[in-house]
């Protein structure tokens, strides 16, 4: 079975990195290095800093879920493919991740931008800190926000929570119950998938 996400055409060159059988970063493609250098450092410095490092040590936080998905790809010798959101204050961005087994235990990670929606600027996504003191949880995978138990797009959640420009909450990152259940299923079978998407256009 081929992942349905394969039908989506990448809107930008995919970002690719490969780990060896001991989870050490072997290669990073030019697109990855160019993207990484936009948040600091020149591409050569990024490459030098990352190649040879154990993935889970340089990208803390990814191990909890990427570890089981990588084990699944290696064990079944099959690609694990899923969508996730990588939003900015001005755009909702749908990404596609393909985790593909390679010879000798190596694994390739390819993330591609497959959908973009412009949005009115969301200040809370700047991550510059809160002015109102409260803390709300954003799901790291689907980027929905917990509004008293309802997981909503950040704009809807802030409206429901009564946030305004002077009383913005701080975001902490977690995982919503839907993504937790779907990732658990995906770690057990590459035929499972995640329902992460962009919201319907109004």
Interface ranges with Zn ion (CB under 5 A): 139, 141-142, 176, 179
CB closer to Zn ion out of 27 and 140? 140
Q: Which two tokens stand for residue 27?
A: 């290669």
Least spacing, CB of residue 200 vs Zn ion, in Å:
17
Least spacing, CB of residue 195 vs Zn ion, in Å:
9
Least spacing, CB of residue 139 vs Zn ion, in Å:
3
CB closer to Zn ion out of 71 and 173? 173
CB atoms near residue 45 (< 10 Å): 13
Q: How far is CA 117 from CA 128, 129, 138, 146, 167, in A?
A: 23, 24, 19, 21, 26
Helix H segments across the chain?
A: 30-37, 43-50, 55-58, 63-76, 154-160, 177-188
Least spacing, CB of residue 17 vs Zn ion, in Å:
24
Least spacing, CB of residue 141 vs Zn ion, in Å:
5
- C-alpha 9/C-alpha 200 separation (Å) is 19
CB closer to Zn ion out of 139 and 168? 139
The dihedral region occupied by 197, where left means phi > 0, alpha psi between -120 and 50, and beta the remainder, is: beta
Q: How far is CA 12 from CA 94, 95, 96, 112, 154, in A?
A: 12, 11, 12, 7, 25
- C-alpha 11/C-alpha 196 separation (Å) is 18
CB closer to Zn ion out of 121 and 173? 173
CB closer to Zn ion out of 27 and 193? 193
Least spacing, CB of residue 79 vs Zn ion, in Å:
22
CB closer to Zn ion out of 16 and 147? 147
Q: How far is CA 118 from CA 43, 93, 112, 115, 201, in A?
A: 28, 9, 18, 10, 11
């Amino acid at each position: 079975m081929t992942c349905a996400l394969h039908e989506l055409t990448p809107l930008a060159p995919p970002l690719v990195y490969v780990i060896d059988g001991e989870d050490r970063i072997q290669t990073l493609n030019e697109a990855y290095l160019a993207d990484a250098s936009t948040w600091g450092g020149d591409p050569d410095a990024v490459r030098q800093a990352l190649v040879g490092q154990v993935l889970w040590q340089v990208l803390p936080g990814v191990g909890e879920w990427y570890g089981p998905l990588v084990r699944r790809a290696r064990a079944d010798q099959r690609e694990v493919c899923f969508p996730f959101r990588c939003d900015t204050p001005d755009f909702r961005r749908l990404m596609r991740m393909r985790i593909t087994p390679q010879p000798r235990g190596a694994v390739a990670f390819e993330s591609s931008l497959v959908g973009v929606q412009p949005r009115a600027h969301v200040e809370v996504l700047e991550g510059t800190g809160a002015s109102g003191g409260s803390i709300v949880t954003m799901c790291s995978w689907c980027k929905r926000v917990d509004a008293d138990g309802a997981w909503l797009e950040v704009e809807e959640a802030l409206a429901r929570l009564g946030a305004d420009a002077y009383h913005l909450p701080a975001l902490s990152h977690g995982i919503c119950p839907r993504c937790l259940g779907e990732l658990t299923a995906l770690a057990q079978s590459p035929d499972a998938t995640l329902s992460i998407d962009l919201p319907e256009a109004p």
